[in-house]
Structure 1
Amino acid sequence: MKTNTYSTPLLVLGLLWAVFPASAQLIARYTVQAGPTDRNNCIVHTRLNTPADASTLVMEEVAGKKRVPVNVSVADGEVWWVLSGHTPAGTKRFYELKKGSLKTTTTALMHITDKNGALILQEGARQILQYNYATVEPPAGSDTVYRRSAFIHPLWAPNGAVLTNAFPNAGHLHHMGIWNPWTHTLFEGRETDFWNVQKKEGKVRFVKMETVTSGSVWCGFNASQEHVAFLKNGTEKTAINEIWKVRAYAATHQGQRRCWDLSSVFSCAGDSAVTLLQYRYGGGFGLRTTPAFTAKTSEVLTSEGKTRKNADSTRARWVKITGTTPQGKAGLLIMNAPTNYDSPEPLRVWPENMEGGELMLNYSPTKMKSWKMTNGNVYTLVYRVMVYDGDITPQEAEEAWKDFAFPPVVTKE
């Protein structure tokens, strides 16, 4: 990990293979209730009330006399694991978490590589996504105003296909893979656009890396970002402070599906309020897809049965994009949390005749109404993305959203 750019606390949690010795200390017994819906490889987590050295923690699933080792990660005071396989609605599963003097073999299955100003989240050698913390230059000959940091690109499908695009063309050099700047805002009496940087009103920048975490269940990072307003006198002022929390989980379904989470936690940078004005796009979750996804080679489907022809300005719990890539068919499912502002969030979806049929999609929580942020309050938007090879059915998409929006209940004995 580089140290000349920023200081990063690194927590490495590995895969643990061990047999519990008689002296192993029981920390907790957990019961996981599936609830009213079937679960498939569902991510679960709960508070870990007893401080413990993560390198000595091991978990087993208890099914009668049978005990099965379970990969476990600990971070931010929580313990994480996967409810592996299929868990029918209404059923329960039981787990024990222990620590002790164990002989283990440790590897960082889910880990992060710091390379050329970017963090690359990986499962083994397979790349998941890249967060660009250093400033990335636009194409040669472009205005330097398009320089940008604090965005995700590339995002890879399990088959290795790149699903995003950055600096796509002369007309939309401000489109940056996955990003979330607010477009139409009111800050200190002036309308400020943090998205369309060519207007030179503002932009989003990386500030520092807060944490970087690797482990057996997930890897991820917390990055501090700022929305900076450019004032008329030639100075600048930070309007919004933001933390991006990104977690990527181990692949399932023989490696053909993978989920990762993006949480945006933001607040006013100073005493001045910021009003995120009602507008047709901006903020939330912005996506410019690979140029391989066009109106002829890809399909859009929302939770409400809308397609690219009629999804714009409609609400959706989830939106699925599947298309053809050089590596084969692949796609991504984007889910918004029911706790998000004005959820299910409205969508901005480009019509099919935009730029040769290429696709830009934005979950925009302020598409229908404004949102005023005041000093001293913290605001959060949470999204989950599933990337997949081939395609998934609408039923599978709905089940994935339920896992995300209403996870199983974990209780401790």
Structure 2
Amino acid sequence: MHDKKLIFAICALILVACSESKKKKSLVTSEKQSGSLVLKMEHKPLLSYKYETNYPPIGVDSSYKRSGYIHPLRTPAGKVLTRIQPEDHYHHYGIWNPWTHTLYDGDTIDFWNLKKGEGTVRFAKFKEILDNGYTALHEHVVLKDNKNEVALNEWQTVKITPSEDPSTYTVDLTFTYECATDKPFLILEYRYAGFGWRATEEWTNKNSEILASNGKTRVDADGSTARWCLVQGTLGNEYGGALMLSHPNNFNHPEPLRIWPVDQYDRGDVFACFCTTKNTNWLFEPGKTYTLNYQLVVFDGKLDAEKSEQYWQQFAKTE
């Protein structure tokens, strides 16, 4: 009889846990709106993924057009953390991840600086749309010499997970790459490329801060390697930000950082990037797949180094 009661109790606990997990997931919904897939929590938009091509403002070179990026990204309270098409860099698109200096078919191609007309990244199709995320195919297209050839395929998977703390949620991002042809794709060492975040125009050197896992700040973090990078600042009358986490299985981990200088454009605009190939090349061979995993801890309020490290340790245990 005792064994039966124990089994019953265990089953009851499992059912409760499953119910809570299902309830937590159901808080997040997805909906297509005006060319974006919008992920919402309790009907409040948190993350918008732009799958339709977005053109720059009238009068600006149309080569700056792009699709396949995240904007806006919002804190749980609705504060916007990202920015697109700023006048200083029309090719900046919120949260996005092109490669800047590559070698393909005997020629160098830049997929980051769109005005060059050498390459771009575009949304091709959805593989899957869930309540709490999506998987989309991004094509890295060579435009140079009118080739219009897809050189690299990238499957981008994004998933939102609510937290027990209503002031926080996480975004898991997985980028899986494979050559689109029988030719290798070589990412060459360069000072900026990869998983980048152009932050809100609200932030300057007066009201924001950056801290890396190695203890470096905005003053000296650029070029250093880190497991995580914390970016936070004033948002209206409140405070908030996001913690960028690099998975230990990533190529060249801990990853080099690209952090804009304190005096960028005098006022100190904010840009942060895990630049995987800042200090080394990375070869993609045909027939093989290559994966990068990141997590964003998006929050209202403030985070410190101790809590940031705890988040990374938890993330590092995932596959």
Alignment TM class, shorter chain as reference: over 0.9
Against the structure 1 CA distance between its residues 229 and 69, is the aligned structure 2 distance closer, same or farther, given a 3 Å change threshold? Answer: closer
Against the structure 1 CA distance between its residues 315 and 120, is the aligned structure 2 distance closer, same or farther, given a 3 Å change threshold? Answer: same
User: Structure 1: any 5+ residue segments left out of the alignment?
Assistant: 1-25, 30-58, 74-80, 83-106, 409-413
CA contact (8 A) 2:109 2:144 kept: no
* Match for residue 237 of structure 1 among 124, 136, 149: 149
| C-alpha distance in 2 between matches for 1:293 and 1:362 | 16
CA contact (8 A) 2:29 2:43 kept: no
Moved over 3 A (4+): 59-62, 66-70
2:219 aligned partner: 309
1:99 aligned partner: none
CA contact (8 A) 2:38 2:49 kept: yes
Which residue type is aligned with residue 89 of structure 2?
A: H
1:321 aligned partner: 231
1:195 aligned partner: 112
The TM-score, its normalising length taken from structure 2, stands at 0.93
Summarize the alignment of residues 33-72 of structure 1 with structure 2, pairs less than 5 Å apart. 61=13, 70-72=19-21
RMSD: 2.1
Matched, 1:396 2:310: no
2:130 aligned partner: 213
| C-alpha distance in 1 between matches for 2:123 and 2:221 | 32
- What secondary structure is seen at the aligned counterpart in 2 of 1:134? coil
1:360 aligned partner: 271
User: Structure 2: any 5+ residue segments left out of the alignment?
Assistant: 1-7
Against the structure 1 CA distance between its residues 268 and 67, is the aligned structure 2 distance closer, same or farther, given a 3 Å change threshold? Answer: closer
Matched, 1:112 2:35: no
CA contact (8 A) 2:124 2:139 kept: yes
| C-alpha distance in 1 between matches for 2:18 and 2:142 | 51
1:225 aligned partner: 138
* Match for residue 271 of structure 1 among 159, 168, 182: 182
Give 1:231 shift: 3.1
| C-alpha distance in 1 between matches for 2:177 and 2:17 | 41
* Match for residue 173 of structure 1 among 90, 95, 98: 90
Give 1:407 shift: 4.2
- What secondary structure is seen at the aligned counterpart in 1 of 2:169? strand
Against the structure 1 CA distance between its residues 396 and 186, is the aligned structure 2 distance closer, same or farther, given a 3 Å change threshold? Answer: same
Give 1:393 shift: 1.8
1:121 aligned partner: 39
Summarize the alignment of residues 333-372 of structure 1 with structure 2, pairs less than 5 Å apart. 333-355=243-265, 356-372=267-283
CA contact (8 A) 2:84 2:92 kept: yes
The TM-score, its normalising length taken from structure 1, stands at 0.72
Which residue type is aligned with residue 129 of structure 2?
A: V
Taking only the aligned residue pairs, the percentage that are identical comes to: 38
Which residue type is aligned with residue 245 of structure 1?
A: T
CA contact (8 A) 1:60 1:69 kept: no
| C-alpha distance in 1 between matches for 2:263 and 2:13 | 52
- What secondary structure is seen at the aligned counterpart in 1 of 2:255? coil
2:5 aligned partner: none
CA distances 1:266-309 after superposition (whole Å, capped 9, x unpaired): 111000101000111112x1110001111111000011111000
- What secondary structure is seen at the aligned counterpart in 1 of 2:31? strand
Larger strand percent: 1
Number of corresponding residues: 311
